[in-house]
């Protein structure tokens, strides 16, 4: 009886396929909607908790809190520049002054470690004699904190090759013309080669120092190395362009750069320079400016070659920030430039012009350059003009040319390093974007940010200036 009652409904369902199709479509649509909703509401929100992201965050969290990078003390070749002809570069030791400098910086490191309550230190040393001696004298002040010591060849000085006698002067002149970053000595290395091995050391050793099995974790790295290597460490860390690298001065003997972990900074290496605990890199670059003199009856433009100090204080891409550069030049040279509006054109100088060193070349410095250097109030600046030797970082005390005009009665104060922004000089602004930027507004933003950095020593994140595509 029940079969007779249900059979008409079955007959109707079986012989009407359109109803089955509609029913199946409705079910599939509902399931698809639920899946999409689940993905949007749950998967996208929980992607930060995926295994890959959690591993990445855990690696960042376990990185050492502090990295201290130190240049060796005064070497024998700093005093006697002829030693490189008879003594291999890797065998040059310290002078008595260099040993005193090493002990002084050892006390600075111990005070810093004590303030940060750091108890586990990993000491990394270049295998050159002057760095080994520097480490020997500085480590005595915090020996009780050292849990591991490594001799790391990848942070050694640039290899100049098998150069004998007066050959080096010829090759050094070629390096000046081409640029230290690009020039490769015969049977030696170029600056780019040094950068590659520094990157290899950073990624394979520094970023994994606390993730290796059967090794004790550390909270501080102390690296005793060379001035050129120190600049390449900062170059790979902050993404400097070769032009910016050439503008940065060499560190003084036993200068130390303090890199502090800041997890608010994105990327695999969340480190910023701490100006309160260590020294800061100085930078300058030569520019040729064309001035418009409004009170000149002849109305002829005037050209001047000036040293632009504090080049690192300009936000990247630096060479496109013409309005900021004009204001900085007006601040640094008030006796020459009464207003930034007088500057009509700015041209960055090439490596060589008429056989004389100009602009970005990082080979050599004269006493006049040293006197015109503006990098904070450093009493030891005068001593750096003697940091010169064969082919190592010893003779690379500055990056600016030797023909800049040093007349500067209104020197700009040292600005804090742009800690959160890597450089990218290839990311240039278009003409339309430059027209949209108001010079006064751009300079006001730059000045306000500089004041905030000086007050808080931390750069306010994420707010970009008009026309800038990205900090990273």
Each residue's pLDDT tens digit, 236-288: 999 999 999 999 999 999 999 999 999 999 999 999 999 999 999 999 999 99
Angle between helices 439-456 and 322-332 (to 10 degrees): 70
Give the pLDDT confidence score for residue 412 in this predicted structure. Answer: 32
Q: Which CATH code for domain 59-273?
A: 3.40.50.1240
Kindly indicate the confidence band of residue 377, based on its pLDDT and cuts at 50, 70 and 90: very low
- The catalytically annotated residue of 110, 129, 137, 157 is 157
Phi, psi angle pair for 4, to nearest 5°: -65, -30
Give the pLDDT confidence score for residue 459 in this predicted structure. Answer: 36
> In the annotation, is 370 catalytic?
no
Residue ranges of domains in the chain: 59-273, 284-456
Q: Please check the confidence at residue 467 and state whether its pLDDT lies above 90.
A: no
Around 245, how many Cα atoms within 13 Å sit in the side-chain half-sphere?
A: 25
Average pLDDT score, the chain: 76
Asked if residues 207 and 52 have their Cβ atoms less than 8 Å apart, the reply is no
The kind and range of the H/E element at 357 are strand 356-357
**Known binding residues for substrate:** 71-78, 130
The kind and range of the H/E element at 135 are helix 129-138
Kindly indicate the confidence band of residue 48, based on its pLDDT and cuts at 50, 70 and 90: low
User: Most confidently modeled of 9-18, 120-129, 290-299?
Assistant: 120-129
Contacts of 263 (CB under 8 A, 6+ apart): 60, 61, 270
The kind and range of the H/E element at 222 are strand 220-225
Which of 442, 346, 370 shows the shortest CA–CA distance to 337? 346
> In the annotation, is 157 catalytic?
yes
Mean pLDDT of 217-238: 97
**Known binding residues:** 71-78, 130
Mean pLDDT of 88-102: 96
- The catalytically annotated residue of 72, 226, 420, 446 is 72
Give the pLDDT confidence score for residue 58 in this predicted structure. Answer: 87
Give the pLDDT confidence score for residue 68 in this predicted structure. Answer: 99
């Amino acid at each position: 009886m029940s079969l007779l009652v249900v059979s008409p409904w079955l007959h109707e369902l079986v012989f009407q396929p359109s109803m089955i199709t509609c029913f199946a479509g409705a079910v599939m649509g509902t399931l698809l909607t639920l899946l999409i909703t689940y993905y949007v509401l749950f998967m996208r929100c929980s992607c930060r908790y995926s295994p890959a992201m959690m591993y990445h965050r855990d690696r960042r969290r376990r990185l050492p809190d502090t990295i201290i990078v130190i240049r060796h003390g005064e070497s024998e070749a700093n005093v006697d520049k002829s030693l490189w002809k008879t003594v291999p570069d890797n065998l040059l030791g310290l002078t008595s002054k260099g040993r005193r400098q090493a002990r002084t910086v050892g006390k600075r490191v111990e005070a810093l470690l004590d303030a940060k309550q750091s108890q586990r230190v990993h000491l990394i040393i270049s295998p050159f004699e002057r760095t080994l001696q520097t480490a020997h004298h500085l480590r005595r002040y915090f020996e009780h904190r050292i849990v591991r010591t490594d001799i790391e060849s990848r942070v050694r000085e640039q290899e100049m090759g098998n150069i004998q006698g007066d050959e080096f002067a010829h090759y050094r002149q070629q390096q000046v013309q081409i640029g230290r970053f690009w020039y490769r000595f015969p049977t030696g290395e170029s600056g780019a080669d040094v950068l590659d091995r520094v990157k290899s050391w950073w990624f394979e050793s520094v970023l994994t120092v606390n993730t290796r099995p059967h090794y004790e974790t550390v909270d501080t790295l102390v690296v005793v190395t060379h001035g050129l290597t120190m600049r390449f460490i900062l170059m790979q860390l902050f993404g400097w362009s070769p032009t910016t690298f050439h503008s940065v001065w060499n560190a003084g003997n036993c200068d130390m750069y303090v890199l502090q972990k800041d997890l608010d900074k994105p990327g695999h290496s969340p480190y910023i320079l701490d100006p309160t605990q260590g020294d800061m890199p100085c930078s300058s670059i030569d520019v040729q400016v064309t001035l418009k003199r409004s009170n000149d009856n002849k109305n002829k433009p005037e050209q001047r070659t000036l040293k632009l100090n504090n080049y690192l204080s300009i936000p990247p891409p630096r060479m496109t920030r013409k309005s900021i550069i004009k204001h900085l030049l007006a601040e640094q040279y008030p006796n020459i430039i009464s207003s930034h509006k007088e500057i009509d054109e700015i041209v960055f100088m090439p490596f060589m012009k008429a056989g004389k060193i100009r602009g970005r070349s990082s080979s050599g410095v004269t006493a006049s350059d040293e006197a015109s250097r503006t990098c904070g109030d450093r009493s030891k600046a005068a001593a750096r003009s003697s940091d010169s030797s064969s082919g190592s970082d010893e003779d690379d005390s500055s990056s600016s040319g030797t023909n800049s005009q040093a007349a500067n009665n209104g020197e700009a104060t040292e600005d804090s390093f742009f800690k959160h922004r890597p450089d990218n000089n290839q990311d240039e602004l278009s003409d339309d974007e430059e027209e949209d930027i108001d010079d006064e507004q751009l300079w006001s933003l730059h000045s306000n940010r500089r004041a905030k950095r000086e007050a808080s020593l931390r750069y306010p994140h994420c707010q970009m200036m008009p026309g800038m595509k990205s900090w990273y």
